[in-house]
Chains A and B, each alone.
Chain A
């Protein structure tokens, strides 16, 4: 097993996921299956292959520094679950 239950819990915390206790074993197994599948790649000899930074063979895509119209504020806020006076409103940030 590559991934232990502890690893899985850590990933859940980092991802802000609340994993029900009865699913822990199942998810740990699934994560392991995924990572073990990746081991198939180790069979390929990559000695002479340069690390890949991007899957597309293109580089240097830029835009000029010219201002474009921004979104109307009401529209920008229209999908926000909570808002107040033109702000996005969010719950408590830091724990005591």
Chain B
């Protein structure tokens, strides 16, 4: 039988506030353990939590950017469960009146097809602390140590409808949400620091059926690669179970990235019963239409709109515009290059090509690139003016990567100015023709490809500085 996967994601994103959601403790990542704690986030008796205004602002902005409706009346609830990373034994979250509902994002698949993924709701909640296990894994640890610095760091949880049907769609959806959150500047989205993590829900059903199968859940997946790999594995595993006539057990499974498999997490409390109740220590939140519109107007240009603009304004292809606008930093870098008067298509090619390659090789973010937008723009200007060839530009770029000099200075110091002087090129061409009679004869006897070897020789002898167009013209002329 052929099966179809049904995938839904719950994405948790830490918000980039200065302080926690209900107290004034700092949210700085990497602080000495248990130094960002106070009676409120430790859940000591008698304390009164108060909502951080900026958390509400960021949650509403995220909702608007993800095409949600904002609930004008919203409240907090207690989600009860016992786990030592929650000192209160409940997580303050939102249950029946979340701040945002009914949104969507559109994803573009590798085959060019666009698909809409609906968002059920976005709610505000507090993050939990971190457990440091004494053994290698949670299961073989006799005790665990708890760091409550992260307890109370504000989160939004973005819950999708089960609208995705492949691991690729799930990854694209998460990438799109990340991109939007970065554009509106409400989360750092540093996945390696756990700013953005997803719970993946997946089930299978016979292709074409509209009945949902039993699902499994994988929690806290914090890389795009792991999203795709974990889902791919889990879909195959479920398929095998069903093919063998077995049943899927509804359970939480952990993803082991080293072994590339998912494992059942047996715990004492199998069926969760969170017994939600209204949080009596926090009062309801009422938002007016005017406030919502003010937030809407404060949003920057979002990825889809920016992509459309780059296609229209600069004639970039949908693919190129999609990559350039996938992160706000890259889109801003592109704008910076364009501001120097550089050609847009060349700018896109250099950003997606040599620049990205070098950044990846050194694991750098584009914002920390040793070659800033202005210098890259100036270098592209030199190509457009004919001062350097595209080939020489690669050398100039590598020099720029290593030193802060302007491209003009590098070109001058290294003697990389393109030779456009026809006389000088002609001399080299003549020498090359003389020394390569075999290629000349091949060419004359009809093998037009033989000219390539001659062009190559001229370029080599000019150390790459001869203008390739001039070389081609001269050779064609001389060989008649």
Contacts and interface: CB of A to CB of B under 8 A. Distances in A.
Contacts of B133: 93
B39 A62 contact: no
B144 A93 contact: yes
A14 B34 contact: no
B384 interface: no
B267 A92 contact: no
Given A65-B52, A90-B84, A94-B139, A60 B283 contact: yes
Nearest to A84: B145
B34 to A, nearest CB: 5
A94 B138 contact: yes
A73 B286 contact: no
Contacts of A92: 141-144
B139 A63 contact: no
A66 interface: yes
Given A54-B280, A70-B26, A93-B141, A87 B146 contact: yes
A66 to B, nearest CB: 6
Interface string B74-95: 0100001011100000000000
Contact of B278 (A14, A54, A89): A54
Given A54-B283, A93-B144, A73 B35 contact: yes
Contacts of A84: 145
Contact of B34 (A10, A53, A76): A76
A88 B34 contact: yes
B26 A55 contact: no
B104 interface: no
Decide if the interface of chain A is mainly helix, strand, loop or mixed. Answer: loop
B394 interface: no
Interface in A34-79: 53-56, 58-71, 73, 76-77
A91 interface: yes
A65 to B, nearest CB: 4
B283 A65 contact: no
Contacts of A16: 82
Interface residues of B, number: 57
Given A65-B19, A67-B26, A86-B33, A53 B83 contact: no
Nearest to B266: A95
Nearest to B50: A63
A95 B268 contact: yes
B19 to A, nearest CB: 5
Given A67-B26, A90-B143, A62 B52 contact: yes
B45 to A, nearest CB: 11
B399 to A, nearest CB: 44
Contacts of A10: 273
B268 A53 contact: no
A87 B132 contact: yes
B26 A13 contact: no
B131 interface: yes
A31 to B, nearest CB: 14
Interface in B137-168: 138-139, 141-148
A18 interface: no
Interface string B14-49: 000111000111100000111111110010000000
Contacts of B146: 87-90
Contact of B143 (A14, A63, A70, A89): A89
Choose among A66, A76, A77, A88 the residue with the greatest number of B CB atoms under 10 Å from its CB. A88
A29 B382 CA distance: 88
Given A14-B273, A65-B19, A87 B147 contact: yes
A22 interface: no
B105 interface: no
B242 interface: no
Nearest to A74: B34
Contact of A61 (B17, B84, B283): B283
A60 B143 contact: no
Interface string A1-21: 000000000100110100000
A96 B282 CA distance: 38
Contacts of B24: 63, 66-69
A68 B23 contact: yes
Given A70-B37, A95-B266, A61 B51 contact: yes
A59 B82 contact: no
A79 to B, nearest CB: 8
Nearest to A87: B145
B22 to A, nearest CB: 8
A62 B35 contact: no
Nearest to A71: B38
Contacts of B289: none
Nearest to B140: A96
A70 B83 contact: no
Given A62-B52, A65-B17, A89-B143, A56 B283 contact: yes
Interface of A: 10, 13-14, 16, 53-56, 58-71, 73, 76-77, 82, 84-96
Interface of B: 17-19, 23-26, 32-39, 42, 50-56, 73, 75, 80, 82-84, 97, 131-133, 138-139, 141-148, 265-269, 273, 275, 278, 280, 282-286
19 contacts: A62-B52, A63-B50, A63-B52, A64-B53, A65-B52, A66-B19, A67-B19, A67-B26, A68-B19, A70-B26, A70-B38, A71-B37, A73-B32, A87-B132, A87-B146, A90-B146, A94-B138, A94-B266, A96-B266
